[in-house]
Structure 1
């Protein structure tokens, strides 16, 4: 990997980290949900700093070209992010269902109190 490419990728990852930190600072992104994004940035930084790790990992796993190894690692991170987002959506769906049930019970209670008042 050429030094120019490494510098370019390093700058891109720094911008990526600054965007994540800015979203965290503005509270647009919850820290609990940003851990996967931060971990991906850390792994990318390590790969840029030590590109020979990709070659050794490729040999160990049996992947012929290091470029394919990068795609495999990228795919793993995409799957982790999808799993994280699916977990968040499931939690929010359960929370919304409980809120709807609570609202329905409160509306029924209000109607019953209004009937008793009349």
Structure 2
């Protein structure tokens, strides 16, 4: 029988193997601890919860695919920021666009 603690430890190990940062893993594990607690409130047992989630390896792969598919954060820059901080904003903006592939023809 797989317990909550064993399952979450296994999930943590899988996420580490996929290279997620310890900070991000901590957030994910905390979310799934909450998930288990919520299921307990509905009188579910560990075995039922684990069966619903699937194997820790499959869940880690699903989490990783969601991490990859999540969009980049939206950054809003206005003219006053460009005027106040041109030496910071312009290189950062250019580098960000370069990373996104938007300025590859200029380089």
- TM-score class normalised by the smaller sequence: 0.3 to 0.5
Larger relative contact order (CA 8 Å, sep ≥ 6): 2
The structure having more radius of gyration, on CA atoms, is 1
TM-score, normalised relative to structure 2: 0.35
TM-score, normalised relative to structure 1: 0.33
